[in-house]
């Protein structure tokens, strides 16, 4: 019986995994260079961790289930809430600020399409304990540095969710309105605000979303203090970060309170948002202190799709045996000890077939487990140039390091 993968999930073959691991390495290295340290949380949590802030509506988008003891659980749809739960439970006395990063799979019950999966990965960071512009600037710059290092062609939009919340303060269905703004569903937003007799607000939201500078948006809506956002802009400009001020960013999740940002990459079609983040307050909701935090999550799968990264592959070396498997195993072990990835024949093939297999998997070298071994040398064949050479055991490491 043929069994298919569940809808919205993927298998990753070795070439794909190599690229994913290479991208992952870049992300980890850069995050660590900013002082972030890795954390991990459970794959499933109590459902209420995700409904406390967003209400029952989010259950629609969550893989929620009841376990055998009748507990309501959920596969994590994201990691900000889990990390803040962990912080409230276990890290509240640690010196602040805390800088955490993660790379984990997330699950959302969404309609699958290109770039949108039911199981996907996020690389994210949370900077916990500072409510200053420097912290927002740092996480934005970090996300920017990562996507630049991966040669992604993207644009960065930065705004402040407090502005839209302020404008919508008299609206009854604020959260719904924010979600419609996030989806840029202007028709439904207009209907909603018209129903509430507040078409004027609709016009302000439209104008604010189109403004390109702080001066411009200030002329449209002057009741908001733009100085915090301006401080973030100033730091970003000093770092030569290219960004677009965008006062219409609403973000899809409900917990944001301040500066928010999104990154969109070319070449991905409709699902082009490769990163989203901003500042929020969640710790108190989970029984902790009311600490300001900020962070982001990069859509790892989308970035892998469009990034250009070197998958540092070690040369593939095949040990060609002459019928004596113990010799092949010994030579392979010598190679491995010299830092080389060595493959032995487990099919009982003759020399010709072993070499043709080496060709078919694009091996870089064949090393013969022959009688030269007694002289302390092995015969090495470069599968690309077809040249053969005897190399002493001591020189193996040098010979293969740097070769491809
Ligand atoms: P988010 O915008 O919901 O934010 O997700 C972050 C990124 O995950 C998105 O920009 C997108 O690239 C990727 N993503 C989301 N859903 C899918 C999907 N179904 N398939 C593939 N990729 C997807 C958050 O999750 C926040 N926790 C980010 C954050 C961290 N804010 C503060 N700290």
Run means of pLDDT, 10 residues per run, the chain, 404 residues: 97 96 98 98 96 79 96 97 96 95 97 96 98 98 98 98 95 91 93 91 95 96 97 98 97 91 94 96 90 98 96 89 94 91 96 97 95 91 95 88 57
The per-residue pLDDT for range 318-343, each reduced to its tens digit, is: 999 999 999 999 999 999 998 889 99
Buried b (16+ CB within 10 A) or exposed e, 291-320: bbbbbbbbbbbbbbbbbebeeeeebbbbbb
Whose CA is closest to atom 25 on ligand 1?
78
End-to-end CA distance of the chain: 42
In whole angstroms, what is the distance from residue 378 CA to residue 249 CA? Answer: 63
Residue nearest to atom 29 of ligand 1 (CA): 296
For residues 212 and 220, is the Cβ–Cβ distance under 8 A?
A: no
- Residue 160: CB within 6 Å of ligand 1? no
Q: Which CATH architecture is the domain 14-306 placed in?
A: 2-Layer Sandwich (3.30)
CATH number of 316-401: 3.40.50.800
Distance from Cα 255 to the centre of ligand 1, integer Å:
13
Alpha-helical regions (H) of 122-198? 133-149, 161-167, 174-182, 186-195
Query: Domains of the chain: which residue ranges?
Result: 14-306, 316-401
Q: Token pair for residue 234?
A: 């100033």
Query: What are 340's two structure tokens?
Result: 């080389």
321 lines ligand 1 (CB under 6 A): no
Mutational pocket test of ligand 1: of 122, 271, 283, the residue with most ligand atoms within 8 Å of the beta carbon: 122
Cα 15–Cα 19–Cα 20 angle in degrees, nearest 5: 115
How far is the C-alpha of 379 from the C-alpha of 340, rounded, in Å?
A: 15
Ligand 1 atom nearest the C-alpha of 122 is 8
297 lines ligand 1 (CB under 6 A): yes
342-365 burial, b if ≥16 CB within 10 A, otherwise e? bbbbeeeeeeeebbebbeeeebbb
Q: Which residues contact 27 (CB under 8 A, 6 or more apart)?
A: 103, 123, 146, 150, 298, 300
76 C-beta closer than 6 A to ligand 1: no
Q: Examine residue 253 and say whether the peptide bond preceding it is cis (omega within 30 degrees of 0).
A: no
Q: Ligand 1 in contact with 345 (CB < 6 A)?
A: no
- Note the pLDDT of residue 393: 87
Q: Whose CA is nearest to atom 13 of ligand 1?
A: 299
Q: Where are the alpha helices (DSSP H) in 44-126?
A: 48-54, 80-86
């Amino acid at each position: 019986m043929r069994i298919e993968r569940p809808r919205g999930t993927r298998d990753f073959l070795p070439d794909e995994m190599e690229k994913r691991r290479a991208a992952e390495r870049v992300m980890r290295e850069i995050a660590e260079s900013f002082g972030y340290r890795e954390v991990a949380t459970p794959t499933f949590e109590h459902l209420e961790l995700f409904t406390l802030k967003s209400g029952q509506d989010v259950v629609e988008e969550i893989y929620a289930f009841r376990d055998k003891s009748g507990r309501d659980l959920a596969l994590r749809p994201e990691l900000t809430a889990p990390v803040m739960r962990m912080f409230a439970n276990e890290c509240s006395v640690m010196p602040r600020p805390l800088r955490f990063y993660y790379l984990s799979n997330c699950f959302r019950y969404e309609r699958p399409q290109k770039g949108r999966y039911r199981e996907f990965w996020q690389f994210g960071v949370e900077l916990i304990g500072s409510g200053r512009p420097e912290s927002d600037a740092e996480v934005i710059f970090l996300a920017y540095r990562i996507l630049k290092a991966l040669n992604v062609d993207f644009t960065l939009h930065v705004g402040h969710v407090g502005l839209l919340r302020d404008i919508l303060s008299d609206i009854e269905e604020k959260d719904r309105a924010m979600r419609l703004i996030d989806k840029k569903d202007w028709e439904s937003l207009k209907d909603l605000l018209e129903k509430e007799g507040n078409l004027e607000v609709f016009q302000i939201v439209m104008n604010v979303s189109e403004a390109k500078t702080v001066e411009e948006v200030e002329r449209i809506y002057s009741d908001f203090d733009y100085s915090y956002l301006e401080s973030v802009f100033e730091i970003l400009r000093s770092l030569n970060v290219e960004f677009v001020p965008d006062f219409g960013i609403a973000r899809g999740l409900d917990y944001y309170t301040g500066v928010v940002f999104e990154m969109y990459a070319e070449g991905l079609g409709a699902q082009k948002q490769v990163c989203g983040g901003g500042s929020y307050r969640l710790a108190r909701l989970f029984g902790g202190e009311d600490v300001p935090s900020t962070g982001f999550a990069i859509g790892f799968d989308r970035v892998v799709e469009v990034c250009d990264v070197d998958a540092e592959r070690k040369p593939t070396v095949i040990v060609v045996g002459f019928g004596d498997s113990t010799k092949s195993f010994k030579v392979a072990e010598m190679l491995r000890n010299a830092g080389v990835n060595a493959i032995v024949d487990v099919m009982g093939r003759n020399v010709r077939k072993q070499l043709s297999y080496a060709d078919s998997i694009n091996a870089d070298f064949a090393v013969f487990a022959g009688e030269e071994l007694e002289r302390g040398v092995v015969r090495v064949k470069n599968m690309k140039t077809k040249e053969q050479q005897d190399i002493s055991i001591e020189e193996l490491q040098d010979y293969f390091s740097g070769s491809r």
